């Protein structure tokens, strides 16, 4: 067993991410079964932190890469790199072979985190299909075949349908176990505000949580926003409100100001209607303070 059952609780409790026990449990069970997992869900809810926390608690070290839109097989598997930057004229016309991150992980016996998988086109990952299904990695240019180490762990994260992300090919998706990382319960976020910004009053705390709940509903049920307020956003709002209140600024102004800032983060910033919707909500909640 890679992660002993009696270690589950210790790993969950030592995490800075709260209220995601179920996510942790599912992930650790699938890791124990030897499957690669893919955390997906709205941004700012702890996907990357959970992945790193699990990887940090394993004996084997890990490599991490954050995918991006111009990523290709070169960064993943490897390829020839021009030495054109070299000062030597002779070398400038030569190429050297560079291993990509997956190849390096397998060769050096390290686990792997691929963060923000859907930021890159699925084609960047075509050559790891065999690795994911049969444990074999073929390095064409080197003419070598590498075998996956025993108990090798691969965790990826993704925001499905986020603006600027690629649609995950079904071939790639089905090679992972997708695990949804949801928004946590209200009482969890309430406790997070208490811990991160203890001087935030009860009323402002409530307004922040209402703002979060309502924007999530607008996103999920009405599709009126591209996303709801993240847990990260909840903490940022509370810390900002607390700071302003300490400076003597009133609750209403502090809350509205914080909500406008986070409103831009969650609205489609190119769409006035979208921004207007969040601003109206912010003002409505501020008026009750």
Ligand X SMILES: Nc1ncnc2c1ncn2[C@@H]1O[C@H](COP(=O)(O)OP(=O)(O)O)[C@@H](O)[C@H]1O
Q: What is the smallest separation between the CB atom of 103 and ligand X, expressed in angstroms?
A: 25
Residue pair 150/106 in contact by the 8 Å Cβ criterion? no
Stretch that binds Mg ion, among 46-54, 57-65, 86-94, 193-201 (CB under 5 A): 46-54
Residue nearest to Mg ion (CB): 48
Token pair 């960047």 in the structure block, residue: 124
Q: What is the smallest separation between the CB atom of 47 and Mg ion, expressed in angstroms?
A: 5
Token pair 């599912």 in the structure block, residue: 26
Tokens of 283: 């003002």
Residue 18's binding partner out of ligand X, Mg ion, none, with CB under 5 to 8 Å set by partner kind: ligand X
Question: Torsion angle of alpha carbons 164, 169, 172, 176, nearest 10°?
Answer: 70
Nearer to Mg ion, 47 or 119 (CB): 47
Q: What is the smallest separation between the CB atom of 130 and ligand X, expressed in angstroms?
A: 28
**What's the rounded Cα separation, in Å, for the pair 38 and 35?**
10
What are the CA-CA distances from residue 37 to residues 13, 52, 133, 226, 241 (Å)?
21, 13, 13, 25, 37
Q: What is the smallest separation between the CB atom of 36 and ligand X, expressed in angstroms?
A: 17
Please pick, from the candidates 20, 48, 127, 200, the single residue that binds Mg ion as defined by CB under 5 A: 48
Residue 75's binding partner out of Mg ion, ligand X, none, with CB under 5 to 8 Å set by partner kind: none
**What's the rounded Cα separation, in Å, for the pair 77 and 61?**
19
Helix (H) or strand (E) holding 243: helix 231-246
Residue 49's binding partner out of ligand X, Mg ion, none, with CB under 5 to 8 Å set by partner kind: ligand X
Nearer to ligand X, 36 or 46 (CB): 46
Alpha helices, H only, the chain: 8-13, 21-32, 47-56, 73-76, 89-92, 101-107, 129-134, 170-173, 186-196, 202-217, 231-246, 251-266, 272-287
Q: What is the smallest separation between the CB atom of 81 and ligand X, expressed in angstroms?
A: 30
Size of the site for Mg ion (CB under 5 A): 2
Residue 46's binding partner out of Mg ion, ligand X, none, with CB under 5 to 8 Å set by partner kind: ligand X
Q: What is the smallest separation between the CB atom of 102 and Mg ion, expressed in angstroms?
A: 19
Tokens of 125: 């990952």
Catalog residues that contact ligand X under the rule CB under 6 A.
16-20, 43-49, 157, 184, 192, 231-232, 235
Of 160, 127, 156, which is closest to residue 142 (Cα–Cα)? 127
Residue 45's binding partner out of ligand X, Mg ion, none, with CB under 5 to 8 Å set by partner kind: ligand X
Instruction: List interacting residues with Mg ion (CB under 5 A).
Output: 47-48
């Amino acid at each position: 067993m890679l992660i002993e059952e009696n270690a589950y609780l210790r790993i969950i409790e030592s995490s800075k991410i709260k209220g995601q026990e179920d996510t942790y449990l599912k992930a650790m069970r699938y890791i124990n079964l030897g499957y690669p997992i893919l955390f997906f869900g709205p941004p700012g809810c702890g996907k990357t932190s959970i992945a790193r926390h699990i990887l940090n608690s394993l004996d084997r070290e890990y490599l991490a890469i954050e995918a991006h839109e111009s990523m290709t097989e070169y960064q993943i598997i490897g390829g020839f790199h021009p030495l054109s930057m070299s000062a030597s004229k002779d070398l400038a016309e030569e190429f050297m072979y560079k291993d990509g991150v997956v190849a390096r992980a397998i060769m050096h016996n390290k686990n792997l985190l691929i963060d923000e998988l859907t930021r890159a086109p699925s084609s960047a990952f075509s050559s790891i299909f065999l690795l994911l299904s049969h444990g074999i990695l073929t390095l064409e240019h080197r003419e070598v075949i590498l075998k996956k180490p025993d108990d090798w762990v691969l965790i990826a994260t993704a925001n499905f349908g986020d603006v600027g992300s690629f649609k995950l090919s079904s071939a790639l998706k089905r090679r992972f176990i997708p695990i949804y990382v949801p928004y946590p319960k209200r009482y969890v976020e309430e406790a997070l505000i208490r811990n991160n910004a203890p001087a935030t009053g009860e009323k402002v705390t409530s307004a922040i949580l209402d703002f979060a709940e309502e924007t999530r509903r607008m996103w999920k049920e009405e599709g009126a926003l591209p996303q709801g307020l993240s847990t990260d956003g909840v903490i940022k709002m509370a810390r900002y409100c607390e700071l302003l209140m300490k400076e003597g600024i009133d609750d209403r102004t502090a809350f509205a100001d914080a909500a406008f800032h986070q409103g831009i983060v969650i609205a489609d910033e190119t769409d006035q209607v979208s921004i207007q919707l969040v601003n109206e909500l912010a003002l409505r909640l501020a008026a009750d303070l």
